[in-house]
Amino acid sequence: MRTARQYAVGFVLISAVMLLLAGCDDDAGNGRVVQGFPRHDTGTSWTFAVDSPDAGLGTQTHTITGTQAYRGREVLVLSETRHFSDPANNHDGINLLDAQTGNVVVRDLHGVRTEYEPDSGFYSFPMEVGKAWRATHIVREGQDEYEQWEERQVTAYEEVTVAAGTFMAFRVDITAASYEGLGEVSYWYAPAVGYVVKFVVGDYVVELDD
């Protein structure tokens, strides 16, 4: 079974990663309610600055390259490229995101394929402060198959500053998980951007740059 860092870092990239959320918002207490997720056009791209204790400083770029059918559902194809000073860390990948939920169903990074059934559960809509959910899924990596879950909660709607600017964003924290060594795992989704703008796994930090 993977460590917490391997698991979470995988999602960042991808999902990063992630394509997500949404569109219609309404006032709700000190924040908003995000009702759904946007269908970003093919060619849409996001670049992130990465500060990794293992790989050093670098960038990741996520680009939507198209759509396809996967096991009876429509998925968005998201390419991922990394650029670090050491070429050994430049593992490109392809991720498939459920077109209805924005969640990852397949991650293929550096030839290592991971499937999530029904999906990663990274997002749950509508999104608002206080919402909590358990993301439970079967993980398949090669011949290995096991169940995994995380408890996720929207803990704040707050201002977050990254290289690309300052945004109001929903903060989501993983508060418990079925694997060991959870540590700090948080990510910020900015409705104005329609994408995650920051992801933190301990001392591993990914921030939107462009």
Query: Which domains occur in the chain, in start order?
Result: 4-208 (2.40.360)
Quick one: which H or E segment has residue 14? Answer: helix 4-14
**Mean pLDDT, residues 17-26 taken together:** 39
At 88, the pLDDT band (50, 70, 90 cuts) reads: confident
The whole-number pLDDT of residue 22 equals: 36
Decide which of 50 and 16 is more confident: 50
| Distance in Å from the first CA to the final CA of the chain | 34
For residue 27, name the pLDDT band (cuts at 50, 70, 90). very low
Share of the chain above pLDDT 90, in %: 61
Q: What mean pLDDT comes out for the span 144-166?
A: 96
Return the exposure string of 127-143: e unless at least 16 CB atoms fall within 10 Å of the residue's CB, then b.
bbbebeeebebebeeee
- Tell me the average pLDDT across 37-46: 83
Separation CA 14–CA 16 (nearest Å): 3
- pTM value > 0.85: no
Given a cut of 90, whether residue 198 has pLDDT beyond it is yes
pLDDT at 16 (0 to 100): 38
Cα-Cα-Cα-Cα dihedral sign, residues 178, 179, 182, 187: negative
Q: Is the pLDDT of residue 147 over 60?
A: yes
Report residue 37's pLDDT band, with 50, 70 and 90 as the boundaries: low
Per-residue pLDDT at 85 exceeds 50 = yes
Mean pLDDT of the chain: 84
C-alpha–C-alpha distance, residues 9 and 162, integer Å: 18
Does a cis peptide bond (omega within 30 degrees of 0) precede residue 38?
Answer: no
